[in-house]
Amino acid sequence: MTRLFAAVAVMAALTFLTRAAPFVLFARREPPALVVWLQSRLPPLVMCVLVADALKFVRFESTETWLPTLAGAATAAALHLAKRNALLSIVGATALFMGLKAWLGA
Amino acid sequence: MRMKPDRGADTGRPGTGALAPALRATFPVLLGYSTLGLAFGLVLVDSGLPWWLSPLMAAFVFAGAAQFMGVGLLASGAGVGEIALMTLLLNARHLVYGLSMLERFAGAGRLKPYLVFGLTDETYGILSTEEAPAGVDPVRFRLLVTALDQAYWFAGCTVGALAGTALPVEAEGLDFALTALFVVLLVEQILARRPKEVFIIAAAASLLALILAPPRNFLLAAMGIGIAGLLATRLPSKPRSGREHPS
């Protein structure tokens, strides 16, 4: 219980902090070179690692464990490249994932 | 409540004039946030966490990717320190949003903290492209866009968590929405033409962490290796070759 409240408090504070940082820090002066440099590199690094984290349990022993996950991820990427509509990509990929799971598991 | 527009804030007419354009501008977000929020609430309850955590997060965190990740970490028994570090890293992308909003938020006065708090990916997307129609107070328009977005998200998260508690909804597989969300954000990063070497470093770091670290430490290991790899590319490549370029 305490852990849950602590987690929410920490997440709320840090999310607000990252959203407020540029307004507070760089309103009057140029951001330092390292910050500018990191700005174009940290987000793609984090996203790659998060995708890898989501796929890390994929094993190729049996079809029903890898096919839904990889097909879902590929669908999300393909849909997003085609339409660039985040909701469509997410809902479409999740529906395919759940459908494949149900179909292969039955 | 912080979400209600503050009527006494300026001299113009109350928010009626700004509400219609704000509703129009946020309509795609209504579809997106109610759906994703619903999924979030269902996944949260399905992973064994109490339902009230969902509206609590929607009210005070208001960050889809961070909330989904936080639920995953909480359910897997991660400590508050790990959650803090991952929230910070995941939200690093917000630094860019703020920089381009400096001028637009300049006249917001005491409403500014709420506008900053509510600067999600989608709110940023609207506020950076849509201007308030002629005759509508731009500050009120931005406030309503932000508050409406949060209202959609709050409603989705709350209904999802309550539905998941009330009836045994089959939420298994719904958490794939998070994977899809990260894939979408990654595609956005690729389309934004980030430096190519970052993706190579990230892939290498992920592989190394997969081999070297136990699965539950994967995120921290991969991020650590990745950041070290990034910083290594920033070092001068040939420090011994004397005086070429100081950069």
* Structural domain includes residue B177: no
Choice among A32-41, B47-56, B73-82 with the minimum mean pLDDT: A32-41
Tell me, yes or no, whether B189 lies in a domain.
no
**Domain shared by B116 and B203, yes or no:** no
Q: Mean per-residue pLDDT for B138-163?
A: 95
Q: Do residue A19 and residue B117 have CB atoms under 8 angstroms apart?
A: yes
Q: Which of residues 54-93 of A touch B (CB under 8 A)?
A: 54-57, 68-69, 72-73, 76-77, 80-81, 84, 86-87, 89-91, 93
Cβ atoms of A21 and B96 within 8 Å: the answer is no
pLDDT digits (tens, 9 = 90+) for B28-65: 889 888 988 999 999 999 999 999 999 999 999 999 88
Q: What is the pLDDT of residue B32?
A: 84
Distance of CA B180 to CAs A26, A77, A88, B36, B167, Å? Answer: 33, 8, 10, 11, 26
pLDDT of B15 strictly over 50: no
Check if the interface score ipTM surpasses 0.85: yes
Identify the band that residue B242 occupies on the pLDDT scale cut at 50, 70 and 90: very low
pLDDT reported for residue B238? 52
Among B residues 48-107, those touching chain A with beta carbons less than 8 Å apart: 49-50, 53, 56-57, 60-63, 66-67, 69-70, 74, 80, 83-84, 87-99, 101-102, 105
> Which range, of A72-81, B8-17, B26-35, B144-153, averages the lowest pLDDT?
B8-17
Question: Which range, A13-22, A39-48, B120-129, B234-243, has the best average confidence (pLDDT)?
Answer: A13-22
Question: Helices B138-166 and B53-60 sit at what angle, rounded to 10 degrees?
Answer: 170
Whether the full predicted model's pTM is greater than 0.80, yes or no, is no
Contact pairs from chain A to chain B, CB under 8 Å: 240
- Go through chain B and tell me how many residues it has: 247
Smallest CA–CA separation between B138 and chain A, in Å? 19
Query: Chain A: residue nearest B190 by CA?
Result: A44
Domain boundary residue, one of B166, B184, B204: B166
Domain extent for B225? 195-234
Contact B191, A47 (CB under 8 A): no
Average of pLDDT values for B74-95? 87
User: Considering only residues 144 to 203 of chain B, which have any Cβ-Cβ distance to chain A shorter than 8 Å?
Assistant: 172-174, 176-192, 194-195, 198-199, 201-203
Q: Is the pLDDT of residue B245 over 70?
A: no
Domain final residue, candidates B145, B166, B187: B166
Same domain, B138 and B213: no
> The tokens of B221 are what?
């290991």
The structure tokens listed for A94 are 């999740």
Q: Kindly state the helix (H) or strand (E) to which residue B216 belongs, with its residue range.
A: none
Q: What's the 3-state SS for chain A?
A: CHHHHHHHHHHHHHHHHHHHHHHHHCCCCCCCHHHHHHHCCHHHHHHHHHHHHHHCCCCCCCHHHHHHHHHHHHHHHHHHHHHCCHHHHHHHHHHHHHHHHHHHHC
Long-range contacts of B128-134 (CB under 8 A, 24+ apart): B128/B97, B128/B100, B128/B101, B128/B104, B130/B25, B132/B18, B132/B21, B133/B21
Specify the number of domains making up chain B.
Answer: 2
How far off is chain A from B128, nearest CA to CA, in Å?
15
Q: How far apart are CA B132 and CA A38, in angstroms?
A: 33
Residue B190 covered by a domain: no
Cβ of residue B24 closer than 8 Å to a chain A Cβ: no
Per-residue pLDDT at B16? 60
Domain presence at residue B157: yes
Q: Name which residue leads in pLDDT, B108 or B10.
A: B108
Which chain B residue is nearest to residue A43, measuring alpha carbons? B93
The rounded percent of chain B whose pLDDT value lies above 90 is 45
For residue B95, name the pLDDT band (cuts at 50, 70, 90): confident
Mean of the per-residue pLDDT values of chain B: 84
Percent residues over pLDDT 90 in chain A: 51
